[in-house]
Amino acid sequence: RLRENRVVMFCAWFLVLLVFIAIFAPWIAPFDPNEQSLADTLQGPSMKHFLGTDEMGRDLLSRIIYGTRISLSVGLVSQILACSIGVLLGALAGFYGGFIDTLISRTIEIFSAFPSLLFAIGIMFVIGPGVINVFIALGLLSWTSHARLVRGQIMQLREMEYAQACVVAGGSDARIIWRHLLPNCLSTIIVLITLGIPGAILTEASLSYIGLGVQPPTASWGQVISMAQQYITF
């Protein structure tokens, strides 16, 4: 059924291409992305530099290729961090309810009250720019959606007969949550991670664009756009 959907297959192959580019960037990129050549600054597309060069003479195609690594790593690592926090807190809130549920739910509401990009800018302003800090900021930014949905599913699943049977049999809370309830939330968690990766990539590009994300000379898509915009002519 998926193979018959042309849009799905196109997106799947495009994703495979991006992963391939990120893994084999040192062999695909025609130049070192940080190699400067002041004699070749701001050149247009040519046979030597297919996408031209920037203000420091660095090959733009090579920087875009290496920027793929940053974008994919930020998307994956930030979502793994967000999933770890969100699933843990959502499972605790949904299983125990009461005061724990109220405390975690209010925390989710506080984090969700801020515009996502503005919140990310605030976090980066406090902890400082850098790749690792981008991972942390985006992980803290997107854990609430994981926690909210996992909480709702756990609240439904804990009332199922098999879950009640585990309680009667004397199973520990941790065993019931991790062995019996969370595996039934796996499909939802996978969908959330899949949807969260593109958002994380866009947010990272936005942060790098305004100078709060990945710092030079490391190549990043947002940083390439930011440094090139002053040379755009019509």
pLDDT at position 64? 92
Q: Which residues pair with 59 in a beta bridge?
A: 53
pLDDT at position 66? 92
Low-confidence residues in the chain, pLDDT < 70: 234
pLDDT at position 103? 92
pLDDT at position 95? 87
Measured distance CA(169)–CA(175) in Å, rounded: 12
Tokens, residue 162:
């098999």
Task: Match 């299983």 to its residue by tokens.
Answer: 95
* Helix residue spans in 24-158 (DSSP H): 25-28, 60-96, 98-112, 116-127, 131-157
Secondary structure (3-state) at 215: coil
pLDDT at position 234? 60
